[in-house]
Amino acid sequence: MTVKTDPTDWDLRRQAIDRLRKKRGLQAHLIAYVTVNLLLGAVWLATTPDVFYWPLIPLLGWGIGVAFNVWDVYAPQPDEKHIEREMRRLSG
């Protein structure tokens, strides 16, 4: 069965697929972040719990990357007004 769609439906479908892929990538990133940092915390606890909590360093450093990934997925897309203003600025 073939469904007829107009070009705007294809654009919308492509945008939806791209957004779903970004969300899936973010989920994988968050799972890796939590898993690795829990493992680092367990290593710290098993070896040197009486000294500085060194897993904080990768936790915060990697957390910056996670924050940018979240921003990339959930930040609002530019609307038509912003796009037109940028096009005027670029054209001089």
30, 32, 38, 43: CA torsion to nearest 10: -160
Dump pLDDT digits (tens) for 42-85: 999 999 999 999 999 999 999 999 999 999 999 988 889 999 99
**Burial of 9 (C-beta count, 10 Å sphere; 0-12/13-18/19+):** exposed
**Res 88 pLDDT > 90:** yes
**Predicted TM-score of the model (pTM):** 0.77
CB atoms within 10 A of CB 33: 17
**Burial of 59 (C-beta count, 10 Å sphere; 0-12/13-18/19+):** middle
